[in-house]
């Protein structure tokens, strides 16, 4: 059971995310300052930084949690499963969650609209890929190079899915795109 302090912190973070989302929609990401967000939320700039180390993390803060969960889910996959199949299964499930999320398209469009946000997004994605590659290596006994290569290929596949889905204004079948991308990237021989 989560303690009161942690639940309160999550509630404040969620409120900041909502306030920031509204301001970004009205003013644009780059034009909105941390002072604007803090003021609209009724707090100081210093208080804002207790919840988010940088403005970009208001949009991207959940990526760290997501990477940890993906690595844990990958580690829990059946022992004899091919690494690529395991990556596909776990990442497909996460793509389903993203597809079901009401604001996913808005967030992707916002990321694409700001060079600073895109850069922070890529930095967080790279850190997440590292965690996933470590989990894949530990689970399947792959060497570090192969685990990194498979994880990077999976990341490239998901990047292409996200771009195609965004171009379609969220109307494309995201899971069909995931399946197509993983089928196209399937290693020619088992990575064992």
In a domain, 112, yes or no: yes
Task: Output the pLDDT for position 192.
Answer: 46
∠40-46-50 over CA atoms, to 5°? 95
94 shares a domain with 37: no
Looking at residue 35, what DSSP letter applies?
Answer: H
Residues 15-40, mean pLDDT to the nearest whole number: 93
154 shares a domain with 172: yes
147 shares a domain with 118: yes
90 shares a domain with 46: no
174 shares a domain with 79: yes
- Residue 4: pLDDT band by 50, 70, 90 thresholds? confident
Task: Output the pLDDT for position 189.
Answer: 60
Question: How many helices (H) does the chain have, and how many strands (E)?
Answer: 10, 0
pTM for this prediction: 0.76
Range of the structural domain that residue 38 is part of = 4-52
How crowded is residue 143: how many other Cβ atoms within 10 Å of its Cβ?
A: 10
98 shares a domain with 134: yes
The residue with greater pLDDT, 119 or 189, is 119
Task: Output the pLDDT for position 66.
Answer: 83
Task: Output the pLDDT for position 140.
Answer: 86
Q: State how many domains the chain has.
A: 2
Helices 83-100, 62-75: axis angle to 10 degrees equals 140
Looking at residue 114, what DSSP letter applies?
Answer: -
CA–CA separation, 149 vs 155, rounded Å?
10
∠145-94-149 over CA atoms, to 5°? 10
Query: How far does the chain reach from its first CA to its final CA, in angstroms?
Result: 40
119 shares a domain with 34: no
What would the pLDDT profile of 118-168 be if each residue is shown by its tens digit? 999 899 889 899 999 999 999 888 999 999 999 999 999 999 998 898 899
Task: Output the pLDDT for position 166.
Answer: 86
65 shares a domain with 42: no
| CATH number of 115's domain | 1.10.357.10
114 shares a domain with 155: yes
Instruction: Answer with the one of 12, 36, 52 that is the final residue of a domain.
Output: 52
- Residue 190: pLDDT band by 50, 70, 90 thresholds? very low
Nearest in space to 154 (alpha carbons), one of 191, 100, 120, 110:
191
180 shares a domain with 132: yes
102 shares a domain with 26: no
Instruction: Report the SS3 class of residue 168.
Output: coil
Report in angstroms the alpha-carbon separations of 10 from 71, 102, 105, 143, 182: 22, 19, 23, 38, 35
| CATH number of 12's domain | 1.10.10.60
What would the pLDDT profile of 51-105 be if each residue is shown by its tens digit? 999 999 998 877 777 888 899 999 999 988 999 999 999 999 988 877 666 677 7
């Amino acid at each position: 059971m989560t303690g009161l302090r942690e639940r309160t912190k999550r509630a404040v973070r969620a409120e900041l995310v909502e306030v920031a989302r509204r301001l970004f929609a009205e003013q644009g990401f780059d034009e909105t300052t941390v002072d604007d967000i803090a003021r609209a939320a009724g707090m100081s700039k210093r208080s804002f930084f207790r919840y988010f180390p940088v403005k970009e993390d208001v949009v991207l803060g959940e990526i760290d949690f997501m990477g940890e969960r993906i690595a844990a889910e990958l580690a829990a996959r059946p022992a004899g499963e091919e690494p690529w199949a395991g990556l596909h299964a776990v990442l497909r499930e996460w793509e389903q969650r993203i597809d079901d999320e009401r604001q996913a398209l808005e967030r992707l469009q916002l990321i694409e609209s700001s060079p600073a946000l895109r850069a922070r997004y890529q930095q967080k994605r790279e850190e997440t890929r590292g965690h996933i590659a470590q989990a894949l290596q530990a689970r399947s006994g792959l060497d570090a190079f192969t685990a990194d290569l498979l994880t990077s290929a999976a990341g490239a596949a998901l990047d292409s899915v996200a771009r195609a889905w965004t171009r379609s204004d969220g109307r494309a079948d995201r899971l069909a795109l995931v399946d197509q991308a993983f089928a196209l990237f399937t290693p020619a021989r088992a990575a064992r």
